[in-house]
Amino acid sequence: MTWQEEAQQLRESQKSWQESASIIQKKYFPSEDKGRVLERIRSYIRRTPEYHKGKMIYEDKRDISEHSVAEYFECLKGLNNAIDELDTKQTNATIRIDDDKPIGIAFWGDWHLSARGVDYNRFEEDTEIIANTDGLYNIKMGDYGDNASPYVHPGSVFESIATPEMQDLGMAITPLEYSALKIDAKLSQDFDQILKKHIKDDVSQYYNYIRAQFRNIERSTPGKFDLVAGQVKTFYLNAKMKCDDQVIIFNQMADWLKAKINNCSLDACKVIIAFFIQNCEVFENATK
């Protein structure tokens, strides 16, 4: 009889591990440490089919088939392709600016707002120049916020002076995105000049702030901005069918918004309508 066979018999006779080890050591491994013999027995017994008798078996356990795995992989491919179709990032773009006057383009970016060491006074001066100089556009690039990540740069978390959430508010004062048409290009030549100046001032001062607020709303209620923008666009199109005077349409939209929002002044509603003019929901390019 081998030690394995005897170990099996001892196990069947309900001997403990310690008792089995003492017997096996004495007969087969007198020079080995009892602890090593015990592990030798335990390792062998646990590999035998008999050891698993009486163990719990899931009779209706669901197994994954090769077909299911292959189908899942095809779904991943399809989802990836769908995401690629929705991805608007691009490295090249053609921009047409409808303006009959000379223009200037400022390449500007990588501000890292909310980081220590930024010349915030100079940034504010440059912002005002770009926002208020007629015909001057800017191409933004790089990191607008600090976007500190300890995974990329371990010390970056100590160089940022604001949390990511607060960085969005900090960037609310940055120049508006000039991919939207300039106010001058969207208002007709006979548009009231005083009102036009108010609209341009409102866009320069509040556009990015309002956009940041909508972004915050989108985080908690996805699709809310599209819903609001759609309502604004619908009201504008209806008003446009009845009247072609942009001043009248602008005032009608401000009155309509005031009626929909409780405790909102008419001036504040005009600021919001100015936002949607710049955001392309209200008025088309007047030169078309």
* Domain shared by 171 and 194, yes or no: no
Residue 224 has pLDDT above 80, yes or no: yes
Q: What would the two tokens of residue 218 be?
A: 């989108």
Task: Give the mean pLDDT of 196-200.
Answer: 90
Phi then psi dihedrals of residue 137, to 5 deg? -115, 160
Residue 82 covered by a domain = no
Task: Give the mean pLDDT of 188-200.
Answer: 90
Which carries the bigger pLDDT value, residue 125 or residue 168? 125
* Domain shared by 37 and 136, yes or no: no
Residue 254 covered by a domain = yes
Task: Give the mean pLDDT of 183-211.
Answer: 86
* Domain shared by 183 and 288, yes or no: yes
CB 111 within 8 A of CB 143: yes
Task: Give the mean pLDDT of 25-35.
Answer: 91
Query: What domain range is 102 assigned to?
Result: 94-175
Describe the crossing of helices 3-12 and 34-46 by its angle, rounded to 10 degrees: 80
Last residue of a domain, one of 175, 210, 225: 175
| Cβ within 8 Å of residue 12, ≥6 positions away | 50
Which carries the bigger pLDDT value, residue 267 or residue 144? 267
pLDDT at residue 156, rounded to an integer: 57
Query: Domains in the chain: how many in total?
Result: 3
* Domain shared by 171 and 187, yes or no: no
Residue 66 covered by a domain = no
